[in-house]
Amino acid sequence: MKINVVKNILDANNRIANDNRAFFDEKKVFVLNLMSSPGAGKTSLVEKTIMALRERFQIGVIEGDIQDSYDAERIAKLDIPVVQINTGGACHLDGNMIKETLPNFDFANLDLLITENVGNLVCPAEFKIGENAKIMILSTPEGADKPAKYPLMFAESSVLLINKIDLAPYVDFNLAKARHDAHAINPELQIFEVSCKDENGLDKWFSWLAQAIEDFQQGGGKG
């Protein structure tokens, strides 16, 4: 006997992510889902973003790692509330993992929650967590062919930060190709070229983010 079903496998996760989104809307907390390959510079970007925007916004961080808590310790040093999620083998954060961390934050005193996903250029893009925006980093040593090879994350993201621009001349990074392919996949993608080492280009990212948070908080919490 054949049974017609037609159901998205990720519906269960999407439902939880939508619940998270409704909760964040009510608390007026802007949530970033930060994704990249291992070592592209996620924690470095979180550190720089905290230093630049901590006077204007109250910031919290969720650190997702398969195991260990090195990244959470780096954030805790900055005296910022941070929760570590150890996924125990899973290559991505999902809606339920985020939901379980919520009791740890004081949402009355929070404007921006930055979630650093597990270092992985593929899987995290499939799982919504209740974010306002997916932000991804591609670092120049990884190569300019990554948008064409791993398109989903580029398709899902609002912002692409091309990091380690200081290294571009040494690793023959083809910036024009990376930009071209990324825009073929996602014409709306905002692209910023940055270096978390010498801080070049980061001001544009900070402005984008500050504007997005303000629009969100004034706009009645539309996600």
Partner 1 sequence: MHELSLIQSLLTIIEEHAKQHGFNKVNQINLSCGRLSSVEPQALDFAFKALTPSGICAGARLDLTILPMKIHCFACNQEYESKGTNPTTCPHCRGDQVMVTSGWQELQLLELDVD
* Chain positions contacting ligand GTP, by CB under 6 A: 36, 38-44, 71, 119, 163-164, 166-167, 195-197
Among the candidate windows 67-75, 182-190, 192-200, 202-210, which touches partner 1 by CB under 8 A?
182-190
Nearer to ligand GTP, 132 or 195 (CB): 195
- Contact between 218 and partner 1 per CB under 8 A: no
Residues 22-41 that bind partner 1 (CB under 8 A): none
Interaction partner, residue 12 (Mg ion, ligand GTP, partner 1, none; CB < 5-8 Å by kind)? partner 1
CA dihedral 170→172→177→179, nearest 10 degrees, is -10
- Site for partner 1 contains 222 (CB under 8 A): no
With a CB cutoff of 8 Å and minimum separation 6, the contacts of 132 are: 24, 30, 31, 32, 212, 216, 223
Q: Measured from the CB atom, is 40 or 53 closer to partner 1?
A: 40
How many other CB atoms sit within 10 Å of the CB of residue 28? 16
Site for Mg ion in 87-146 (CB under 5 A): none
10 Å CB burial of residue 102 (0-12, 13-18, 19+) is: middle
In this chain, which of 180, 198, 199, 215 binds partner 1, going by CB under 8 A?
A: 180
Q: Is the dihedral of CA 180, 186, 192, 195 positive or negative?
A: negative
When CB distances are held under 5 to 8 angstroms depending on the partner's kind, the choice from Mg ion, partner 1, ligand GTP, none that residue 163 binds is: ligand GTP
- Return the SS3 of 184: helix
Query: Could you give the 3-state DSSP secondary structure of residue 94?
Result: coil
Under the criterion CB under 8 A, does residue 65 sit at the interface with partner 1? Answer: no
Q: Which is nearer to partner 1, 155 or 175 (CB)?
A: 155
Of 10 and 122, the one with the shorter C-beta distance to ligand GTP is 122
Strand order in the sheet with 133-139: 82-86, 59-65, 112-116, 30-36, 133-139, 159-163, 190-193
Binding flag, residue 47, Mg ion (CB under 5 A): no
Q: List contacts with Mg ion (CB under 5 A).
A: 42-43, 71
